[in-house]
Structure 1
Amino acid sequence: MTHSAKEINSLCDKFVGSILRQDGSIEFNEDSEKYRLMSNGVNYPDLSFGAICAALSGTTRTLLLPRLNIAVSNDHKYLWAWCGQVIFNYNINPIIPAHKDLNLFELYLTALHAMLSGRHVMHPLESSLNIHQRQLLGQSTEILCHLSFPLLEALLKRACHQYVEMDGGVKCKFRVNGCAYSPGVDGNGFPRECSSIFDLLTLYLNKVKKPEETKKWALDN
């Protein structure tokens, strides 16, 4: 049985609702675990593109919880691993040509390897690894989390290259989230920069992304 985007969003919303207490705290219990995607037979390889997008959005809500709590589950680990596997199998161009930015390309590949090397994925040769290799294997999710933000920031700066340099320097005027950015130096003589991931995401969504291309990609895949 495959699951629709609506069903996946509903399960994620029910999970979040089941763990929130009236005082704003969270409490995990047997009732909340029954709303996990994998507990309901969700198999990521069977999902449509729209359902995968819903899973990514929904598991973000079940990951980032009130009071800065983060709770990683198998729902997250297997979804990240599946997305990494799709990228590897279909040779999706990450818009990071290795010959143009080797450091960013290697960061991207390292993050992908971290997605696919956790203990939730079967490792028949794990017993032959030394203690340091096993430790890295067991901490692959934590490694991925620490790599994801600099990778996202770098990808956004590359995508928004008309507006910002890779070091964050502002190339032309733009305004997002109530903040105005412009080239030049600030009152202290330092170059004006944009290093806010939130502002970069907003800039990408509002100024750079082409909705018709995104829609075409979804229909073709």
Structure 2
Amino acid sequence: MVQSREDLIRQLCDAWIAAYQRSSSSSHEDPEKFRLHKNGIKFHELNYPEIQIACTSLSKVLLLKGMNTVISLDHQLFWAWAGELFLFSLPRTFSNEERYVQELLETCVLASITSITLSRQTNPLGFNEKFMLKAHLILAYLSLPLLEAILKKVCKAYVDYDGNVIKPFNVQGRGGNLKEYDPHSSSLSQRKCSSLRDLLHLFYKDVSDTDLKSKLDEMRKHLSTLDSTKDPFDLIYEWRNSSLHGHTNFQTIGGTILNLTILILFSQIRSDYERVRDDIWKTVQSDLVTYRSSGVLSPRYYLPFLVAKKLDKLVAEF
């Protein structure tokens, strides 16, 4: 029986974790042999269920116990592909009024794949070198407001971008009691939602469907391995507050928060994903023809990343 790509992606990521843990003790096994791109997984070929699994599985091999992060070529390829999908697809992911959200996503994607600007032939200015060293700290700071903005976008029936409540809803409070929101309440705290935690609970409870809930549960389960004493959404809320108020920074969390945001955005094009994927891929192929004839790369994400990383095998298979 032929193994599905969904199962293969899960198996490879689980095998990487097991090999990584063994290599940290006594084994000399190389966990890198389990990377997706080394086992025939190409993100531009995946269908909707497969790209969802790639998102959740890559999150498990990104942020590990002890808040250690291991960013691989798999992650950067995935982020570059997501950037293509959400920033260049038609119809557009973001309206004119959401331009600032689009720019925030663009900045996060650029920070996540910032190493594409380096090559052996490049001698960047010290400022650029410093930026690249700090790119994932920048991503950690910007990914949290990006997540909040995307949650407001997808929960627009309940709350607007300013946090004004449009439709009544409730979420479970930290003490277990229900926290009510109502646009007609005399209390400002009930008429306005400014809590990332409550937006996460609103999205999970009232907006996401059964399929997406199962993927969110995978993300929540992984976050619980980082701190089992807190609800995963409470943990994200604490990261947000600590970063916002300058108490501390969690420079390792940016990729994980970006993946959660991408998972939510995927759900918004679920019924149209394969068409969007194919349209974007045709454009990438066209850009490749231009690059091979003129050496000029379009200012996008996926193809420039492949070229910068000298992925000749992948490029040859275009």
**Do Structure 1 and Structure 2 share a fold, with TM-score over 0.5?**
yes
AA paired with 1:216? S
Equivalent position to 2:140, from 145, 152, 158: 145
SS at structure 2 position matched to 1:50: helix
Structure 2 CA distance for aligned equivalents of residues 215 and 165 of structure 1: 23
Report how far residue 37 of structure 1 moved: 1.9
Q: Which has the higher contact order (CA 8 A, sep 6+)?
A: 2
1:119 to 78, 103, 115: 115
Structure 2 alignment gaps of length 5 or more = 212-266, 277-318
- Please tell me the root mean square deviation across aligned C-alpha atoms, in Å: 3.5
- 1:55-94 paired onto structure 2 within 5 Å: 55-91=54-90, 93-94=92-93
Equivalent position amino acid for 1:27 in 2: S
Residue pairs, 1:37-48, within 5 angstroms:
37-48=36-47
Of 159, 168, 191, 1:164 maps to 159
Q: Matched residues in 1 for 2:115 and 2:104: separation?
A: 21
Residue 10 of structure 1 is matched in structure 2 by 11
Structure 1 residues 11 and 144: alpha-carbon distance in aligned structure 2, compared to 1, 3 A threshold: same
Comparing 4-13 and 158-167, the one that deviates more: 158-167
Q: Deviations over 1:36-57 (max 9, x none)?
A: 2234343333333332221111
> What's 1:175 paired with?
170
After TM superposition, give the deviation of residue 152 of structure 1 in Å.
1.2
CA contact under 8 A between 2:171 and 2:201: conserved in structure 1? Answer: yes
C-alpha distance 76-142 of structure 1, shift in aligned 2 (>3 A): farther
Q: Which moved more, 1:59-68 or 1:44-53?
A: 44-53
**Which of 89, 104, 115 is the equivalent residue of 2:101?**
104
Contact preservation (8 Å) 2:87, 2:106: no
Shift of 1:169: 4.3
Q: 2-side partners of 1:67 and 1:113: how far apart?
A: 26
Farther off after superposition, 39-48 or 60-69: 39-48
Q: Is the 8 A contact 1:9 1:54 kept in 2?
A: yes
1:119 and 1:138 in contact (8 A); partners too: no
Q: Does 1:135 align with 2:130?
A: yes
CA distance in 2, matches of 1:64, 1:56: 13
Say which SS state the counterpart of residue 75 (structure 1) adopts: helix
The 8 Å contact of residues 3 and 51 in structure 1, kept in 2 or not, is answered as: no
> 1:75 deviation in Å?
1.9
Could you tell me how far apart the structure 2 residues matched to 1:38 and 1:131 are? Answer: 32
**Other structure's SS at 1:72 match:** coil
Q: 1:172 to 1:66 in 2, by over 3 A?
A: same
Q: TM-score, normalised by structure 2?
A: 0.53
Aligned position for 2:272: 217
Indicate if the aligned counterparts of 1:126 and 1:134 stay in contact, CA closer than 8 A: no
Which residue of the partner structure matches residue 50 of structure 1? 49
State the AA in 2 paired with 1:107: L
Q: Secondary structure at the match of 1:180?
A: strand
Which of 49-58 and 102-111 deviates more?
Answer: 102-111
Q: Deviations over 1:90-112 (max 9, x none)?
A: 34622x323x2443332233223
Contact in 1 for aligned 2:12/2:35 (Cα 8 Å): yes
1:155 Cα deviation after fit: 1.3
Distance 1:19 1:195 in 2: 39
Provide the C-alpha distance between the structure 2 equivalents of 1:215 and 1:89, rounded to a whole number of angstroms: 16
Matched residue SS, 2:163? coil
- Pick closer, same or farther for the CA change 1:174–1:138 going to 2, 3 Å: same
CA gap of 1:51–1:122, structure 2 versus 1, over 3 A, is farther
Native 8 Å contact 1:12 1:58 kept in 2 = yes
Tell which deviates more after alignment, 28-37 or 153-162. Answer: 28-37
Aligned-residue identity in percent: 28
From the two aligned structures, give the one with the greater helix fraction: 2
Q: C-alpha distance in 1, partners of 2:120/2:88?
A: 21
Deviations, residues 149-181 of structure 1 (Å, cap 9, x unaligned) = 211111111221232242434444323345422
